[in-house]
Chain A
Amino acid sequence: MTGLLGAFAEAWDEVRVHKARVVLSLVGVFLAVFALTTVTALGAIVAQSQQEQAERWGGRPATLAVTAFDTTTGAGVDAARWDAAVAGLVDRYGITGSATVSYADGLYRLPGGTQTVQTTRVSPSYGPLHRIRPVHGRWLREGDRASLSPALVVNEAFLSLLGHSDLSARPTVVIGGPQPVTATVVGVVREGFDQPLVYRVDRSGGDAAAASGGGPGPGFYGPPTLELWVPPGQADAVMATVRNDLALSLPGSQVDVYRTDDQGIGDSISTLRTAIRGAGVVALVLGGLGVLNVGLVTVRQRIREIGVRRSFGASSARIFSAVMLESVCATALAGVAAVAAAVLLVRNLPLTEWLADGVPLADDPGFPFEAAVEGMVAATAVGALAGLLPAVIAVRARVIDAIRF
Chain B
Amino acid sequence: MSLLHLRGVGREVRLPDGSLLPVLTGVDLDVAAGEHVAVVGRSGSGKSTLLNLLGLLDTPTAGSYLLDGEPTDRLRARRRARLRGEVFGFVFQQFNLLPRRTAAENVAAPLLYARGRDYLLRRRTAREMLDRVGLGARADQVPERLSGGEQQRVAIARALVRSPRVVLADEPTGALDVETGAQVMALLARAAAENGAALVTITHDLSVAALADRRFRLDAGRLTPLDGGAALDAATAHRDPRTAGRTA
Q: How far is the CA of A318 from the CA of B85 in the complex (A)?
A: 13
Instruction: Give the interface centre of B48, B88, B112, B119 by most chain A CB atoms within 10 Å.
Output: B112
List CB contacts (< 8 Å) of A282-325 with chain B: 304-305, 308-318
* Shortest Cβ gap from B187 to chain A (Å): 20
List CB contacts (< 8 Å) of B89-147 with chain A: 90, 92-94, 96, 98-101, 105, 109-110, 112-116, 119-120
Q: How far is the CA of A304 from the CA of B82 in the complex (A)?
A: 19
B55 at the interface (CB under 8 A from A): yes
Chain B residues contacting A404 (CB-CB under 8 Å) are 48
Q: How far is the CA of A6 from the CA of B93 in the complex (A)?
A: 27
List CB contacts (< 8 Å) of B193-226 with chain A: none
Question: Using a Cβ–Cβ cut-off of 8 Å, how many residues does chain A contribute to the interface with B?
Answer: 27
* Shortest Cβ gap from A1 to chain B (Å): 8
Chain B residues contacting A6 (CB-CB under 8 Å) are 112-114, 119
Q: Is the CB of B84 within 8 A of A405?
A: no
User: Interface code A384-405, partner B: CB below 8 Å = 1, 0 otherwise?
Assistant: 0000000000000001100111
Q: How far is the CA of A5 from the CA of B48 in the complex (A)?
A: 33
Q: How far is the CA of A10 from the CA of B111 in the complex (A)?
A: 11
A2 at the interface (CB under 8 A from B): yes
* Shortest Cβ gap from B124 to chain A (Å): 15
Q: Is the CB of A405 within 8 A of B93?
A: yes
A219 at the interface (CB under 8 A from B): no
**Cross-interface CB contact of B116 among A2, A10, A305, A403, cutoff 8 Å:** A2
Q: Is the CB of B81 within 8 A of A310?
A: yes
Chain B residues contacting A3 (CB-CB under 8 Å) are 115
Q: How far is the CA of A399 from the CA of B53 in the complex (A)?
A: 12
* Shortest Cβ gap from A398 to chain B (Å): 9
* Shortest Cβ gap from B238 to chain A (Å): 26
Q: How far is the CA of A314 from the CA of B111 in the complex (A)?
A: 10
Chain B residues contacting A403 (CB-CB under 8 Å) are 57, 92, 96
A272 at the interface (CB under 8 A from B): no
Q: How far is the CA of A304 from the CA of B96 in the complex (A)?
A: 8
Given A2-B120, A6-B119, decide whether A311 and B57 contact each other with a Cβ distance below 8 A: yes
Q: Is the CB of A5 within 8 A of B119?
A: yes
Chain A residues contacting B90 (CB-CB under 8 Å) are 311
Q: Nearest chain-B residue to A7 (Cβ)? A: B112
A17 at the interface (CB under 8 A from B): yes
Chain B residues contacting A265 (CB-CB under 8 Å) are none
Q: Is the CB of B110 within 8 A of A310?
A: no
List CB contacts (< 8 Å) of A158-193 with chain B: none
**Cross-interface CB contact of A314 among B48, B105, B113, B119, cutoff 8 Å:** B113
Q: How far is the CA of A316 from the CA of B98 in the complex (A)?
A: 19
Q: Is the CB of A318 within 8 A of B98?
A: no
Chain B residues contacting A13 (CB-CB under 8 Å) are 101, 105
Q: How far is the CA of A94 from the CA of B109 in the complex (A)?
A: 68
Q: How far is the CA of A287 from the CA of B93 in the complex (A)?
A: 40
Q: Is the CB of B113 within 8 A of A318?
A: yes
Chain A residues contacting B99 (CB-CB under 8 Å) are 305
Q: Is the CB of B112 within 8 A of A315?
A: no
List CB contacts (< 8 Å) of B36-74 with chain A: 48, 52, 55, 57-58
* Shortest Cβ gap from A214 to chain B (Å): 81
Q: How far is the CA of A268 from the CA of B90 in the complex (A)?
A: 66
Chain A residues contacting B114 (CB-CB under 8 Å) are 2, 6
* Shortest Cβ gap from B38 to chain A (Å): 20
Given A13-B105, A308-B96, decide whether A400 and B85 contact each other with a Cβ distance below 8 A: no
Q: Nearest chain-B residue to A17 (Cβ)? A: B100
Q: Is the CB of A308 within 8 A of B98?
A: yes
Q: Is the CB of B109 within 8 A of A312?
A: yes
Chain A residues contacting B82 (CB-CB under 8 Å) are 313, 315
Q: How far is the CA of A399 from the CA of B92 in the complex (A)?
A: 13
Q: How far is the CA of A305 from the CA of B101 in the complex (A)?
A: 12
* Shortest Cβ gap from B194 to chain A (Å): 21
Q: How far is the CA of A316 from the CA of B52 in the complex (A)?
A: 17
A90 at the interface (CB under 8 A from B): no
Q: Is the CB of A405 within 8 A of B116?
A: no
* Shortest Cβ gap from B119 to chain A (Å): 4
A9 at the interface (CB under 8 A from B): yes
User: Interface code A1-28, partner B: CB below 8 Å = 1, 0 otherwise?
Assistant: 0110110011001000110000000000
B86 at the interface (CB under 8 A from A): yes
Q: Is the CB of A313 within 8 A of B84?
A: yes
Q: Is the CB of A2 within 8 A of B81?
A: no
Chain A residues contacting B84 (CB-CB under 8 Å) are 310-313
Q: Is the CB of B85 within 8 A of A314?
A: yes
Chain A residues contacting B77 (CB-CB under 8 Å) are 315-316
Chain A residues contacting B110 (CB-CB under 8 Å) are 312-313
B78 at the interface (CB under 8 A from A): yes
* Shortest Cβ gap from A172 to chain B (Å): 75
Q: Is the CB of B94 within 8 A of A405?
A: yes
Q: Is the CB of B96 within 8 A of A313?
A: no
Given A2-B115, A2-B116, A6-B119, decide whether A314 and B57 contact each other with a Cβ distance below 8 A: no
Given A317-B78, A403-B92, decide whether A309 and B115 contact each other with a Cβ distance below 8 A: no
Chain A residues contacting B78 (CB-CB under 8 Å) are 315-317
Q: Is the CB of B57 within 8 A of A400?
A: yes
Q: List 14 A-B contacts (CB under 8 A).
A: A2-B120, A6-B113, A9-B112, A13-B101, A304-B96, A308-B92, A309-B113, A310-B81, A311-B84, A311-B88, A315-B81, A318-B113, A400-B52, A405-B93
Ordered nearest first, which 4 A-B pairs have the shortest CB separation?
A: A313-B85, A312-B110, A315-B81, A2-B119
Q: A311-B55, A313-B83 are in contact. List 8 more A-B contacts (CB 8 A).
A: A2-B115, A10-B112, A309-B109, A310-B57, A312-B112, A313-B113, A314-B113, A405-B93
